[in-house]
Amino acid sequence: MNRIIVCMKPVPDPQHWNKVSMDHETQTLKREGIPTIINPLDKHALEAALSIRDAHGGEVLLLSMAPPFVTPTLREGLAMGADRAILLSDPVFAGSDTLATAHILAAGCRWIGEFDLVLCGNMTIDGSTAQVGSQLAELLDLPSVMHVIDLHRKEDHLLRITQKIEHGYVRLEAELPLVISVRKELNKPRYTPFTGILAAESKEINMLSNEELHIDTGLIGLEGSPTKMAGLELRRFKREKERVEGSPEEIVQVLVDKIHRYGII
């Protein structure tokens, strides 16, 4: 394989999600002060790409659509071992839904030119739609497989893939090129070596705007997205929050009475 593209999304670190607040006027989320990390499943996608490259040669490219401030997060992917990164960044991309995002990533793939495989995480932790991989494949007119838990090369242009389904799995044989979305069972992402961090400093991050990509603006950004936000609220829970105290025996008695009152026993 000569070239593998890994789609990577910088996401807000979930350790800090309790700091998310809402701007009621604009109906948007305020995420100031929340650090950015590589979407965890994308690290598994990158690991898969790196191990294929290490065994068979070729190059691994990171592809990301995000604002320019995520560059340090892309550097982390380069430190893990990717060869170079392409950051698709333009104010006209802001507010893109999954289909619009897929249009932008597809344009990025076409800009790259030839490639053999696109790897994505099955979903991101912030939006969690799990839609972009399949949509990107459709727009590139390539086959795609989601929920991938095992992957190996059979011949030069053939992959053996195991896809998880309810209570089991499906084994598939696929021809390259294609788009694959992976689950965490696939592998264990490698630790970043110190030499990798040093090497990443000199690796190339190519920033592209829509001037280079020429995507019809009717297809991207807030305006071009078929889905629209009709409302947004932070989730609030209303529960009784009655604290039961006392000796273990006393607590158990209260619990048994409650469970009885609920009609369970």
Partner 1 sequence: MNKNDHDGIWVFAEQRNAELHEVTLELLGKARGLAGQNQGKVTAIILGQGIKPLAQTLLNYGADSVLVADNPVLDPYRLIPYSLVFEKLIKEYHPEILLMGATFMGVELAPRVAARVRTGLSAHCVDLKLDKDGKLLQVVPGWGGGVIATIACPDHRPQMATVMPGTMKPLSPEERKGEIKEIEINLPDKDLGPKVLEIKREKAEGLPLEKAEVVVAGGWGVGSREDWKQVEELAGVLGGAVGTTRPPVDEGWAEEGQMIGQSGKTVRPKLYMGIGISGVMHHVVGMDQSEHIITINSDANAEIFETSDVIVVEDFRKILPKLIQKIRERVER
Site for partner 1 in 30-89 (CB under 8 A): none
Options 47, 90, 97, 116; binder of partner 1; rule CB under 8 A: 97
Minimum gap (Å) between residue 175 Cβ and partner 1: 8
> 134: Cβ–Cβ under 8 A, 6 or more apart, which residues?
144, 146, 179, 181
Stretch that binds partner 1, among 53-61, 107-115, 157-165, 199-207 (CB under 8 A): 157-165
Nearest residue (CB) to partner 1, 92 versus 125: 125
Q: Could you tell me if 119 and 5 are in contact, meaning their C-beta atoms sit under 8 angstroms apart?
A: yes
Residue of 134, 150, 153, 192 that binds partner 1 (CB under 8 A): 134
Residue whose CB is less far from partner 1, 198 or 244: 244
Instruction: Show contacts of 189-194: CB within 8 Å, 24+ apart.
Output: 189/43, 189/44, 189/46, 189/47, 189/80, 190/47, 190/50, 190/80, 190/81, 192/76, 192/79, 192/80
Q: Which of residues 100-129 bind partner 1 (CB under 8 A)?
A: 102, 123, 125-129
94 binds partner 1 (CB under 8 A): no
- The values of phi and psi at residue 215, to 5°, are -85, 140
**Touching partner 1, residues 236-255 (CB under 8 A):** 237, 239-245, 248-249, 251-255
Q: Is the dihedral of CA 215, 122, 30, 38 positive or negative?
A: negative
Q: Which is nearer to partner 1, 41 or 61 (CB)?
A: 41
Q: Rule CB under 8 A: say whether 227 interacts with partner 1.
A: yes
Find, among 174, 99, 112, 175, the residue nearest to 139 by Cα: 99
| 185-224: contacts with partner 1 (CB under 8 A) | none
Q: How far is the CB of 15 from partner 1 (least distance, A)?
A: 10
CB 194 to partner 1: min, Å: 27
Smallest distance, Å, CB 33 to partner 1?
15
**Stretch touching partner 1 by CB under 8 A, among 46-54, 61-69, 73-81, 170-178:** 170-178
Between 98-112 and 132-140, two packed helices, what is the crossing angle to 10 degrees? 50
- Helix, strand or coil, per DSSP, at residue 144: strand
Collapsed DSSP state (helix, strand, coil) of residue 236: coil
The residue from 46, 90, 147, 210 that contacts partner 1 (CB under 8 A) is 147
